[in-house]
């Protein structure tokens, strides 16, 4: 299937925390030789003292990611970015990176109801399976919001209402294979035949 693609693809997997972005990214790159799963939260976690300056660390991690994306796309290889994004700046940077490399850009928005999104995150918080999961919980704990996860979900939905180019995929909690099948179908419809 890999040889069906002409040119590289940059895929943004956007969605609320614990919606399956990282798992889907892992599954996507597993079938693409040398495709890069560029988890920006992992990069941020590698920055010294990041939790003391989370905003600055997040911006630094995204800047590093853009450099990596440029390099990888220009070599003709695909990049998948699993990242919660509720403002246009970073998506515009991704679009420009794809354009610089003459690569396609596909924006995916993983969707699940607010209550399910909050429940999924709280479940993961109770039993984190990676440092990234723990870091996400620590970051949420820093907020002064009464319902930080609900507010993140709402902000994302409002943002996506303006993002007509984002391809929406309903997440089937507990059935990553079903969600992956829908994602692969969507990518194929966009010309990125994974």
Q: What is the pTM of this model?
A: 0.89
193 located within any domain: no
In a domain, 100, yes or no: yes
CATH of residue 148: 3.40.50.300
Q: What are the backbone angles phi and psi of residue 64, rounded to the nearest 5°?
A: -60, -40
pLDDT exceeds 60 at position 3: no
DSSP letters for 37-88:
E--HHHHHHTSTTGGGSHHHHHHHHHHHHHHHHHHHHHTT--EEEE----SH
Does residue 92 sit within a domain?
yes
Domain count across the chain: 1
Q: What percent of the chain has pLDDT over 70?
A: 90
Q: Has residue 112 been placed in a domain?
A: yes
At 25-81, the pLDDT tens digits run 999 999 999 999 999 999 999 999 999 999 999 999 999 999 999 999 999 999 999
Q: Which domain does 97 fall in, by range? A: 2-187
Residue carrying structure tokens 């790159």: 29
Residue 10 lies in a domain: yes
């Amino acid at each position: 299937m890999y040889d069906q693609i002409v040119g590289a693809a940059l895929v943004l997997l956007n969605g609320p925390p614990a919606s399956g972005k990282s798992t889907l990214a892992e599954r996507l790159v597993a079938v693409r030789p040398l495709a890069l799963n560029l988890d920006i939260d992992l990069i941020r976690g590698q920055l010294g003292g990041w939790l003391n300056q989370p905003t600055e660390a997040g911006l630094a991690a995204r800047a590093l990611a853009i450099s990596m994306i440029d390099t990888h796309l220009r070599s003709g290889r695909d990049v998948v970015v699993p990242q919660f994004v509720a403002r246009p700046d970073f998506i515009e940077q991704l679009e420009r990176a794809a354009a610089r490399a003459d690569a396609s850009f596909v924006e995916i928005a993983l969707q699940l109801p607010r209550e399910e999104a909050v429940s999924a995150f709280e479940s993961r918080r109770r039993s984190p399976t990676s440092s990234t999961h723990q870091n996400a919980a620590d970051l949420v704990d820093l907020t002064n919001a009464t319902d930080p996860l609900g507010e993140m979900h709402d902000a994302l939905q409002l943002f996506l209402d303006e993002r007509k180019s984002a391809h929406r995929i309903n997440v089937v909690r507990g059935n990553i294979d079903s969600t992956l099948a829908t994602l692969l179908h969507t990518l194929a419809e966009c010309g990125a035949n994974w």
